[in-house]
Each structure stands twice: as C-alpha cells, then as structure tokens.
Structure 1
Amino acid sequence: MVCGGFVCTRNALSALNVLYALVSLLLIGVAAWGKWFDLVSSIRVVAGVIGVGAFLLLVAFVGLCGALKHHQVLLFFYMIILFTVFIMQFSVSCACLALNKEQQNHLLEVGWNKSEATQRDVEKTLNCCGFTSVPHNGSCAASCYEGDRPSCGPCSSTIQQTAGEVLRFVGGIGLFFSSTELLGVWLAHRFRNLKDPRSNPGAFL
C-alpha cells in the first residue's frame, strides 16, 4: 500500500501522538525532578510545567485513540484543540524571535519583581545578587554574598547576556513543534475522510 493510504496515515498519526506523549512525560518528569532535588523552588513554575505536560498528554491520548479507532468525533475535537494550540504557540514563538533588547530587559525585570522564589533560584544558580544593584542590606541566596565582604554583582548583566540566545532557541523550538501540530491537524483531517478498508463498503464513516 502506498503511503497516503488508510494504514499509512493511521500509523503516521499514531506515531506523532506517541511522540507528543513522550514529550509530555519528559516535561512532567523534568519538573518533578527539579522540585525533588530543590533545583526549582517556585511551585508555580513546577505546576505550570506539569500542567503543560498533562495537557499535552491528554491531547496525545485523544489523538491516539482517534487514530486507532478511526473515531470521527475524537478526531474532530483533536483537530480543533491542536489547531488552537498551533495558533497560540506560533504566535508566542514569533513574539520570542521578534523581541528587541529593550523589550527583553523590560520583561526580565517584570518577571524578576513578580516572584521572590524565582529571584532566589536565579541568584543561587548564577551566583549574583539583585537585578540592577546588589542589595547590601537585604538577603541573597548566592554563595558570593556570604562573609563580611560580598563580591557579588547584579544579575541583570548576566541574564541579559543569555536572554537573547534563550529566546531565539525557545522561538525556534516553538516553531518546530508548531509545524508538527499543523502536520497533526492535516493528518487527522485526511484520516477522517479515508474509508476503512475493513469496514462495510456501504457504511457511512
């Protein structure tokens, strides 16, 4: 059977959803591992990553069931959900790639001021204190802040050096996965309109 037939399309759609399931389990596992070893102290960050992983796992389950059973309703909702995710992810990816340095700095400062747990994580990881200035009368989680004469520098310069690269990387990964989502929508639409060769030729699919 040539590729593009019923079996080939079903296998391609199933493989794509197995890939989504593996990625979702990886996200959940990495978030749980980071929290377990106290690499990330912000519960909101961990919950957000686990939530994204659980949602992706649910979408993969719906798509896989629809592909294996050739279920019209499941495939329809799978197409709608996946296309909605594609639009949002494509928009966010383009925004990440289009941000200039001034906008990046503004977003970094807003994110820094929103969560003290994130501040501690960044200070501990990058060994720096404060965003634009070192808080000499405050607290800092960095090891360089210990002792009578702290040798820490502000975190903004260190973060800004890698912010552009991280945003470009995230934008590129987002565009790649958004293309797979568009492929999933196309495969699901095609598969819905294919007749199962094992079914009654006169039956309505």
Structure 2
Amino acid sequence: MMVCGGFTCSKNALCSLNVVYMLVGLLLVGVAAWGKGFGIVSSIHIIGGVIAVGVFLLLIAIVGLIGAIHHHQVMLFFYMVILFVVFLVQFGVSCSCLAMNQGQQGKLLNSTWGIMSDPTRLDLETKLNCCGLLNTTQNQIQFNNDWERCTVPCKSSAAGCQTCGDMMLQHASESLRILGGVGLFFSFTEILGVWLAIRYRNQKDPAANPSAFL
C-alpha cells in the first residue's frame, strides 16, 4: 500500500492544486465578463487586465495538470520555474499592499489617475458619483480640468460633489489589507505547488520500467 508522501499522493496533490488554480482562473474571467455585461466596469483596460490574469493562471494550471498526469519532466520543470517567479512577484506586491500608508496611497492614486484615459476617468466618476481626484495644490490644474468635464448628478446638488480620491481613500486601507492578505495566502499556495512539483518530478513512477532513467 502506497503511503501518503509517495508517488501517487504527490501526483494527486499536485493535480488537485492545479484544478483549484484552473477554477480561480475561470472565476476571474467570469467575474470580468459579468462586470462588463452588467455595466459595473466599462473600461476595456480593467476588463482586459483581469481577463489576462485569469487566462495566464489558467494556462499555468493546465501545464501543471498535464505535467502531473503524465509525469512529464520538461513541463513540470517549466511549471515550477514560472510558478516560482509568480510567487516572488505576488509576495512582493502583497507585502507592499499591507505596508502602504495613506500618504503612499494618495501618491499611487495620483500616478494612476494621471495615466488614465478620459473615458476611464469619466466612467469612474459616473460609477462613484464624484468629480476629480484630489483637490490639492499639487494637482490643482488637473482637478479643475476634471471638474469642468464632470457631468455627474452630484455636481448640481446642494451638497456638492466629493472628490473621487477622498472617496477611494476612505476604503483604500481596508481594500489593500484584503488584497494583500488574499495575495499573501495564494502566494504560499504557489510555493506549495513549487515544492510539490520538485518532489513529484524527482520521484520514480512505480508503474514505469525499473531500468528507466528519470
């Protein structure tokens, strides 16, 4: 009887992990399509980014699953190298999200707002019912330009409009903690995948020819 930790156990564990990655990838693609279909997000850049991440994760999972099923040395090698690179990037980004203070969040919003296209800015203002980013001396010219182009309902109300930057900063810390925590959790599942791939790749298939070279 094969004990857990042997060839079969490693194979099943690696297959199960990659099935989870495939489901997460499909979920990302599905959520992006759902958001586009219901008009929650209309920016093609945001939709495209989420879909790209989902497809990339799906492809990595497929390579890992096929490599695990067939005990394919080359596919398992590329799988664990790519997964390790993804782990390093995701771990670094997750730690940055958890360590970011409000001043750094404001600078990040300023830089992101500056590279957004006009349709994306207008779409964000419409969704949040706000105008401009942050009414500060540093970006006063940009704020005035955004305010002139802004056509959201709050602009004509007695209470006036809140800036989009203030609205986003109210929830940014909580969102970054959630994003960093989830990213950190998944980064450890990726290093688990790398460890399983290395372990499984170096194990001998009991059903193979005993004289075969691994």
1:69 aligns with 2:79: no
Instruction: Answer whether contact 1:70 1:192 (CA < 8 A) is retained.
Output: yes
Instruction: Answer whether contact 1:41 1:117 (CA < 8 A) is retained.
Output: no
Instruction: Answer whether contact 1:42 1:118 (CA < 8 A) is retained.
Output: yes
SS in 2 for 1:41: coil
Offset at residue 60 of structure 1 (A): 0.3
Aligned residues: 204
Structure 2 match to 1:43: 44
Instruction: Answer whether contact 1:39 1:121 (CA < 8 A) is retained.
Output: no
Q: 1:167 to 1:184 in 2, by over 3 A?
A: same
Give the whole-Å Cα distance in 2 for the aligned partners of 1:31 and 1:117. 18
Instruction: Answer whether contact 1:112 1:118 (CA < 8 A) is retained.
Output: no
Instruction: Answer whether contact 1:125 1:142 (CA < 8 A) is retained.
Output: no
Instruction: Answer whether contact 2:129 2:153 (CA < 8 A) is retained.
Output: yes
What does the per-residue CA deviation read over 1:2-32, in whole Å, with 9 as the maximum and x for residues that have no partner? 2101111101000000000000011111111
Offset at residue 38 of structure 1 (A): 2.1
SS in 2 for 1:138: helix
Give the whole-Å Cα distance in 2 for the aligned partners of 1:168 and 1:76. 33
Offset at residue 149 of structure 1 (A): 5.4
Q: Structure 2: 5+ residue runs without aligned partners?
A: 136-142
Give the whole-Å Cα distance in 2 for the aligned partners of 1:175 and 1:137. 38
1:131 aligns with 2:133: yes
What does the per-residue CA deviation read over 1:73-130, in whole Å, with 9 as the maximum and x for residues that have no partner? 0000001000010011111111111112111101012212221333233322322111
User: What value does the CA root-mean-square deviation take over the aligned residues?
Assistant: 1.8
Deviates more, 1:31-40 or 1:177-186: 31-40
Offset at residue 52 of structure 1 (A): 0.9
TM-score, structure 1 length as denominator?
A: 0.92
Q: 1:148 to 1:200 in 2, by over 3 A?
A: closer
Deviates more, 1:31-40 or 1:59-68: 31-40
Give the whole-Å Cα distance in 2 for the aligned partners of 1:99 and 1:137. 28
Q: Partner amino acid for 1:54? A: V
Structure 1 match to 2:193: 184
Pick the aligned partner of 2:150 from 131, 135, 140: 140
1:9 aligns with 2:10: yes
Offset at residue 37 of structure 1 (A): 2.2
Instruction: Answer whether contact 2:130 2:164 (CA < 8 A) is retained.
Output: yes
Structure 1 match to 2:122: 120
Q: Partner amino acid for 2:152? A: A
TM-score, structure 2 length as denominator?
A: 0.89
Q: Structure 1: 5+ residue runs without aligned partners?
A: none
Identity of aligned residues (%): 57
Give the whole-Å Cα distance in 2 for the aligned partners of 1:6 and 1:148. 68
1:170 aligns with 2:171: no
Give the whole-Å Cα distance in 2 for the aligned partners of 1:148 and 1:171. 37
Offset at residue 193 of structure 1 (A): 0.9
Instruction: Answer whether contact 1:128 1:153 (CA < 8 A) is retained.
Output: yes
Q: Partner amino acid for 1:120? A: L
